[in-house]
């Protein structure tokens, strides 16, 4: 079951990210949103701002920090998926941003190390998001 453990770690990281965002006062609107353009791990709202969150979870930083794994191709897919979500929910006129939450959850740690990067990247190559 080589694919099971990374999937379990990713789900665990997303749950930790949800708890973290709730502590910040965010309201979670949707988790694991998918459309034909891509996937968004968490969609939240805070003080009228729609926040699209990509969560990257790793058990080691030997190959780099988790946030470094969010490459341009994935950023473009997230941007297009976010724009589709905003259109579908009539939120194009509201402020929105694209965040990354980086989670390092070492095997010997009961709690993860969480880094939050608000407005981590600009919308992709297919026009304006906001």
Cα angle: 32, vertex 11, 90; to 5 degrees: 15
97: pLDDT strictly greater than 90: yes
- What pLDDT is stored for residue 62 in this prediction? 82
Cα angle: 62, vertex 102, 108; to 5 degrees: 55
Determine the average pLDDT of the residues in 5-29: 90
The domain locations on the chain are: 4-117
- What pLDDT is stored for residue 19 in this prediction? 97
Query: How many CB atoms lie under 10 A from the CB of residue 75?
Result: 20
Determine the average pLDDT of the residues in 43-64: 93
Q: Which residue has the higher pLDDT, 41 or 1?
A: 41
- What pLDDT is stored for residue 44 in this prediction? 98
The edge-to-edge listing of strands for the beta sheet with 38-46 is 27-35, 38-46, 49-58, 96-104, 113-117
Is residue 92 helix, strand or coil? Answer: coil
Check: CB of residue 83 under 8 Å from CB of residue 123: yes
CATH fold of 4-117, please?
A: Trna Endonuclease; Chain: A, domain 1 (3.40.1350)
Q: Which residue has the higher pLDDT, 53 or 59?
A: 53
Give this prediction's pTM: 0.88
As a whole number of angstroms, the distance between CA 29 and CA 6 comes to 25
């Amino acid at each position: 079951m080589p694919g099971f453990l990374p999937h379990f770690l990713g789900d665990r990281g997303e749950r930790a990210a949800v708890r973290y965002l709730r502590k910040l006062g965010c309201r979670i609107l949707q988790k694991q949103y998918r459309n034909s353009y891509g996937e968004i791990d968490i969609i939240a709202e805070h003080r009228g701002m729609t926040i699209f969150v990509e969560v990257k979870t790793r058990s080691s930083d030997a190959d780099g920090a988790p946030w470094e794994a969010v490459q341009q191709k994935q950023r473009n897919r997230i941007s297009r998926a976010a724009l589709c979500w905003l259109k579908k929910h009539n939120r194009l006129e509201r402020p929105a941003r694209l965040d990354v939450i980086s989670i390092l959850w070492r095997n010997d740690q009961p709690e993860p190390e969480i880094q939050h990067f608000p407005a981590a990247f600009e919308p992709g190559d297919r026009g304006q998001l906001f």
